[in-house]
Amino acid sequence: MPGTFLPPFPDDVRVHPLLVVDFELIKARDQQEVKTLWEAATSLGFWYLKNHGADKEVDNMFDMGAETMALPLDEKMKFEQGDAGRSFGYKMAGGNAVDASGKPDTVEFINVSKDDALSYPTIAHRTYPETVNARMESTIVPFIRKSLEVNSVFLDIFNEKLGLPNGTLAKLHEIHEHSGSEARCIRKPPSSVKPSPSEIAIGAHTDFGSLSFLHNRLGGLQVLPPGHEEWSYVKPLPGHAICNVGDALSLFSGGILQSNIHRVVPPPGIQSNYERWSLVFFTRPGNSQVLRALVESSSIIADAVKQKPEKSFDTNSTSAQWFARRIKNQRMKNRTGPETWAASRGTEHTPTKA
Ligand SMILES: O=C(O)CCC(=O)C(=O)O
Ligand SMILES: [Fe+2]
């Protein structure tokens, strides 16, 4: 946890560098910085973000996560997300598959809906453990508001770069429309014995929504960059968040913005002896929005789609349907065989690499 001792990230593992984007410069629309952001978002779809101004909110969220995970398992299970394709709530370790063979995951997490947090104490979707309620106003709402602010700045820049009419992406993510947007705090227990080289904490996936704002302290996150055969770690940098593009934004943009495949494995080297915590805010489109390339609104997007005739950017699915399908089919309890894993896939280009 933040504030406690963390061993260094080893220097003998393969690392993939990310471009660094300075949020203060982005807000000031510094042209060089916007260029760097655009390059990152259209190549790997991942970048480091410094000067995001959310450090205090992030630390408080990790405290909320620690208090929640310390509850007895039977208490946490009262708030389990269930098997119907809903994400909000608690997910126990082993609840999801990590690959087509049905191997279980090794992380537990708590997901708090943006809608439940912003309407609290009125329930929008569901209830949460006491440890979440106690910090809803002091910790969770401030973190969600900060994250929404950061991601909406990115959406406005992408809107402009994609040649969309003003406010198009903002409208697809309108704050008052119910959505799958959520804050997630994740705990991976330390490996008690030598970590198994085959342990996967979170299986290979692309993120389901539009933008993810991620905070981690220990290594373990890996990306499979386009054209690579091997996974590389993304090294956590103090004071830097990791941001990435998800399926929805990739689809809206006709594949111009990249939703890259990633996974979580045990932290490398001596870091594996420590508990790993991470925190994400996922900005996802409003539930009713259909996931398809915005070809009628932008000639840049229409051209991009024309150049990739082999790819489909029309999912015939609303954001809510897309999200529910992916959640539901990664649940171990819904698994019938490898076809269930296949049904949980999004825009991953290389699902066989899982
Ligand atoms: O824990 C991490 O570093 C990444 C988590 C992640 O990819 C996810 O929750 O979608
Ligand atoms: Fe992810």
Q: Which of 182, 264, 284, 326 to mutate to test the pocket of ligand 1 (most atoms within 8 A of CB)?
A: 264
Q: Provide the residue-wise pLDDT of the chain in tens; the chain has 354 residues.
A: 545 789 999 999 999 999 999 999 999 999 999 999 999 999 999 999 999 999 999 999 999 999 999 999 999 999 999 999 999 999 999 999 999 999 999 999 999 999 999 999 999 999 999 999 999 999 999 999 999 999 999 999 999 999 999 999 999 999 999 999 999 999 999 877 666 778 999 999 999 999 999 999 999 999 999 999 999 999 999 999 999 999 999 999 999 999 999 999 999 999 999 999 999 999 999 999 999 999 999 999 999 999 999 899 999 999 999 999 999 999 999 999 999 999 999 987 533 333
Ligand 1: residue whose CA is nearest its atom 9? 280
**Rounded to the nearest whole angstrom, what is the distance from the C-alpha of residue 95 to the centroid of ligand 2?**
16
> Please, are residues 340 and 97 in contact by the beta-carbon 8 Å criterion?
yes
Give the integer Cα–Cα distance in Å for 286 and 291. 10
Report which secondary-structure segment, H or E, holds 59: helix 55-69
Ligand 1: residue whose CA is nearest its atom 7? 263
Give the integer Cα–Cα distance in Å for 216 and 204. 17
Ligand 1: residue whose CA is nearest its atom 10? 207
**Rounded to the nearest whole angstrom, what is the distance from the C-alpha of residue 307 to the centroid of ligand 1?**
31
Task: Locate the ligand 1 atom nearest the alpha carbon of residue 282 and give its number.
Answer: 10
Q: Which residues contact 199 (CB under 8 A, 6 or more apart)?
A: 106, 191, 265, 266
**Rounded to the nearest whole angstrom, what is the distance from the C-alpha of residue 278 to the centroid of ligand 1?**
7
Task: Locate the ligand 1 atom nearest the alpha carbon of residue 242 and give its number.
Answer: 3
Report which secondary-structure segment, H or E, holds 245: strand 241-245
Q: Which of 62, 187, 206, 212 to mutate to test the pocket of ligand 1 (most atoms within 8 A of CB)?
A: 212
**Rounded to the nearest whole angstrom, what is the distance from the C-alpha of residue 184 to the centroid of ligand 1?**
9
Ligand 1: residue whose CA is nearest its atom 4? 221
Report which secondary-structure segment, H or E, holds 214: strand 211-216
Task: Locate the ligand 1 atom nearest the alpha carbon of residue 212 and give its number.
Answer: 10
Q: Which residues contact 118 (CB under 8 A, 6 or more apart)?
A: 124, 141, 144, 175
Give the integer Cα–Cα distance in Å for 214 and 281. 7
Task: Locate the ligand 1 atom nearest the alpha carbon of residue 207 and give its number.
Answer: 10
Fill in the DSSP letter of residue 333. Answer: G
> Please, are residues 49 and 143 in contact by the beta-carbon 8 Å criterion?
no
**Rounded to the nearest whole angstrom, what is the distance from the C-alpha of residue 165 to the centroid of ligand 1?**
32
Give the integer Cα–Cα distance in Å for 28 and 34. 10
> Please, are residues 71 and 64 in contact by the beta-carbon 8 Å criterion?
no
**Within 6 Å (CB) of ligand 1, which residues are found?**
184, 186, 202, 207, 214, 216, 221, 262, 264, 278, 280
Give the integer Cα–Cα distance in Å for 51 and 245. 19
